[in-house]
Structure formats: C-alpha cells, structure tokens
Amino acid sequence: MQTIDLREDAKVFRRGLESYVTSIAAANPASLSALEIGFSCDQSGWIFIHGDERPEHERDGQWTTKIDEDGCIDFQHWIEAIESSFEGDAFTVVKIDGTKFIVPAFDEDAEEQSDDDPFVVAIGEMILDVLMNAKSDGVFEPLKTFGAVQLDIEDFNGGWGWPEYDDLGKTNLA
C-alpha cells in the first residue's frame, strides 16, 4: 500500500515558499495584497504560490489564471495515489501531526460519496501548518513593506479553503 507522508511534503513546500517570498520581495511589485496558495490533488498533484498584486485581495479565483507549470511545486505522488485508488488500491496518508488514515479504494457502486475529502483536508491543513510556522519563524518579514498581506489557501476544486470567507482580511501576515 502506498503511503503519502505530508510531513515530508511540508518540507518541500516550505523550501518553495521561502524561495517564492525571496523572489517576490526582490521583484518589489507596486502592491502585494495576498499570498494565495492553491493546490490540487485529484487531477494533478501540485501547490501553486501566487502573489496577488492587486491593491485589495479578493478570493475570486484569479490565481487560477496565473498557474503555470514552472511556478508549481510538483507532488506527482498525490495524483498517483488517487489514480491507484481508482484502480482498486487503498493508500495511507500521514498527516502533518503524524496521525494516519487510509484512503480506501474508490467504490463506484457506493450510494454516496463524501463531500469532505479527507485527503484534500489533510493537504490544506499541512499547507496551513507550514504557513503558520513560516510566519512565526519570520519568513514573511521581507513582505512587511507591503502592509497587511493576507494569507489565503484554496483547493483548486473548492474542497478546502482557509480562512473562512467571513475571516478574509482578518488573518494577515502583519
């Protein structure tokens, strides 16, 4: 059975995040209202970091128009695991906190599929954990010159997002 260890994936994402923060600070755009972290694990496996350079951030999916292969952090093993579940194989996920769960093989005869995909949720939680640790470690200090830069995480298919819509604009880097 394949295992996806999100603790290891968190290290890869953290390196990519640090690199992106360095590059956007060096580029010094006219404004930066948010760091949008998009991810996908059901049609492909990636995390995409986008700096919203609009004066005011909105969670409106604009980041999806900026996705390019070179800007994505590749997690091909996510889609490989999902594809294996369609072929009848379960896989194990080790969450960021070290707990584990099994994603069962896809059952096309099941009467009801859950709307809350635990794999999507676990990836979102991993991204959030990395962001909060990066924040406490000072990774975002180079962005302070832009004021209150919002953190925003969103699954490409809308299966998980942070913060809740009512909290947008309240959870800032500053």
Prior bond to 163 cis, omega within 30?
A: yes
Residue 103, strand partner residues: 91
Q: Which residues contact 88 (CB under 8 A, 6 or more apart)?
A: 105, 106
Residue (of 76, 100, 101, 105) closest to 9 by Cα position: 76
pTM for this model (two decimals): 0.93
Distance separating alpha carbons of residues 117 and 115, to the nearest angstrom:
6
Per-residue model confidence as pLDDT tens for the chain (174 residues): 899 999 999 999 999 999 999 999 999 999 999 999 999 998 899 999 999 999 999 889 999 999 988 889 999 999 999 999 989 999 999 999 999 999 998 877 665 555 578 999 999 999 999 999 999 999 999 999 999 999 999 999 988 999 988 888 777 775
Residue (of 67, 64, 35) closest to 51 by Cα position: 35
